[in-house]
Structure 1
Amino acid sequence: MKKAFSVIVFLIGIFFLQNCSTNNLVSEEINRQWMLIEFQNFSRDLMVKNRAQIDLASTKTTPNQYGAEMGCNKMFFTAKFYSNGTVKFSDVGSTMMYCENNMELESAFGKELPKMTKYKIDGHHLTLSDNSGNTMKFVAADWD
């Protein structure tokens, strides 16, 4: 009887550990603000001037809800990061102001973000990529 109980407890423990290890990953590595430094044919100078960034700092009140700015509107989206290096972006939207000379970057970013399916963190750099080889590269905002 004790042996059967021990086996059941062991199996329940394994089940919980397995479910926890492959679910969302919001570690300290990704949980920060990232400055966009490389995207399509946009110049790095434009991205720096516009303070183009994505904010992946999660909050307890709105988990998986994040934001971005490309120089004009506030953007918002849902993202789920997984421990196997995959990511799912959805529900991308933004405020609706018009800002001359900033709309092209913002529109392209909003269109391409949901297509990104993989992420990689290498030191202070984050790279998002899709299945076609398109990338968005970021550097941690708190990195000097």
Structure 2
Amino acid sequence: MNKFLSIFIAAVCFISALSCSSAKLQSQHIQRQWMLISFGDFTKEQLIKSKAEINLTAPPEDGKIKGTAMMGCNRMFFTLEFKSKNKVEISGLGSTLMACQEMEIEDQFTKVFEKMTRYQIDGHFLTLYDDKGAEMKFIAADWD
């Protein structure tokens, strides 16, 4: 009986430890290339024309994904950590430093992206939210 109780307690501790760590990534849902289709006051056509996207296809390391973004001019890089209860932490945002004619989307994206704290996946859509109600909506690039 003591052996059974020990195994049971170890299993409960293991499951508890997993629930406190980063959310287990469901690669077919998150690890994709995502096209930005709704952001701020920009039209969908402006976002499509600038080929605004984030790429989350890199294999996760310690529960974190090193991603890249392109908003028309500079290549950006960042680290994303998806946590439990639809929380996300975005850090380490940086970019190349080319000066281009149309950088409005890129400039706004840079100001807002790291402030996103929650995410939702609904079918082929990924939406990021901040604590003030701002959102960014993406569609999976491989969706037809």
Candidates 12, 36, 43, aligned match of 1:14: 12
Deviation at 1:64, TM superposition (A): 2.2
Give the TM-score taking structure 2 as reference length.
0.90
Alignment of 1:44-83 (within 5 A): 44-59=44-59, 63-83=64-84
Alignment of 1:100-139 (within 5 A): 100-101=101-102, 103-139=103-139
Percent identity between the two aligned chains = 43
Q: State the one-letter code of the partner of 1:88.
A: E
Q: State the one-letter code of the partner of 2:37.
A: I
Deviation at 1:18, TM superposition (A): 2.2
Structure 1 unaligned blocks of 5 or more: none
Deviation at 1:125, TM superposition (A): 0.8
Deviating runs (4+, > 3 A) in structure 1?
60-63
Deviations along 1:49-91, whole A, 9 cap, x unmatched? Answer: 1110011223256842111110111101111102310101111
What residue is the counterpart of 2:88 in the other structure? 87
Give the TM-score taking structure 1 as reference length.
0.90
Deviation at 1:20, TM superposition (A): 2.1
Q: State the one-letter code of the partner of 1:52.
A: A
Q: State the one-letter code of the partner of 1:99.
A: C
User: Alpha carbons of 1:57 and 1:24: their partners in 2 closer, same or farther (altered >3 Å)?
Assistant: farther
CA contact (8 A) 2:89 2:117 kept: yes
